[in-house]
Structure 1
């Protein structure tokens, strides 16, 4: 559902998707972001970073339990920025953090990529889980 608002002659488009907390859904998340951002110049980075947050939601929160899931919110201010939020079943206590994996480690680089490629990012607890977001300037 697109939402268009006048903000200094820019257009803001908002999309929301819900995904089951299964590993096969990460590909669906990638396709969702790629489709909704179309020709946006930062679409590739947005797809990669959303994929990392979706994987974290499945692996590190109750969103990965059977029949659970997570939401993805895309806010695109055309010509300015893209903000994507993943809302999962995370807790008040377990905030995501940037790990320092060993060079040959197979896991642990997701938030490192977010930290490097995003303009800014953050996470906060809500009554219904945790929201982790990133912002990329166009």
Structure 2
């Protein structure tokens, strides 16, 4: 039997500033000491940015709703927006030089694929994900990451992005913009 407890919700305008407001709400609701705080803090902006950037005003209004719940051993996030006629959110394979397009990739990694979309037609849509509540903060992960050699501080697998450094050594960079970890290959 599932036990669910709503931590809170926030209604946001469809504007870029709403992404940072959603992240601040995570801090207020979970607190930085919660074991899943960093993972949730990384996932919520991806879901919120998609809702803000890709939804269109509809009959249900121009707001985005972010809800956080504890469901069994998971932090469950829902972001509901007015929807879009152009299609539902999907994973992309962003080019290494792309400045965006990694939001759902990060959500997919953090939730181990435990995310989805509920489409309500003209009533909007909800994109959700569930992240284990008891995992240690990403940078407290042991140096032997289960994701292998190409993983950043955050624990996400990343695509190797080559950069020639001053010393002509090959560098790789995590695609997660939150960690900016460089390491020699």
> TM over 0.5: same fold?
yes
- The partner residue of 1:90 within 83, 92, 100 is 83
Indicate conservation of the 8 Å contact 2:7/2:29, yes or no.
no
Find the residue that maps to 1:135 and give its secondary structure.
strand
> Which residue number corresponds to residue 53 of structure 2?
59
Separation of aligned partners in 2, 1:101 and 1:62:
23
| 1:74 matches 2:64 | no
- The structure having more radius of gyration, on CA atoms, is 2
C-alpha distance in 2, partners of 1:23/1:35?
20
Instruction: Report deviation, 1:77.
Output: 4.0
1:106 to 99, 110, 114: 99
Among residues 36, 41, 57, which one is paired with 2:35 in the alignment? Answer: 41
Separation in structure 1 between the aligned mates of residue 110 and residue 103 of structure 2, nearest angstrom:
11
Unmatched 5+ residue regions in structure 2? 134-185
Matched, 1:125 2:98: no
The structure carrying a bigger helix percent of its residues is: 1
In the other structure, the counterpart of 1:3 is: none
- Is 1:31 the counterpart of 2:31? The answer is no
Of 10, 20, 34, 1:17 maps to 10
Runs of 5+ in structure 1 lacking a partner? Answer: 1-5
Give the Cα separation in 1 of the matches to 2:26 and 2:104: 18
Higher-RCO chain (CA-CA 8 Å, sequence separation at least 6): 1
User: Larger % of strand: which?
Assistant: 1
Give 1:71 deviation, angstroms. Answer: 0.1
**What is the TM-score normalised by the length of structure 2?**
0.62
Query: Post-superposition, which runs of at least 4 consecutive aligned residues in structure 1 deviate over 2 A?
Result: 11-14
Structure 1 CA distance for aligned equivalents of residues 70 and 91 of structure 2: 25
TM-score normalised to structure 1 length: 0.82
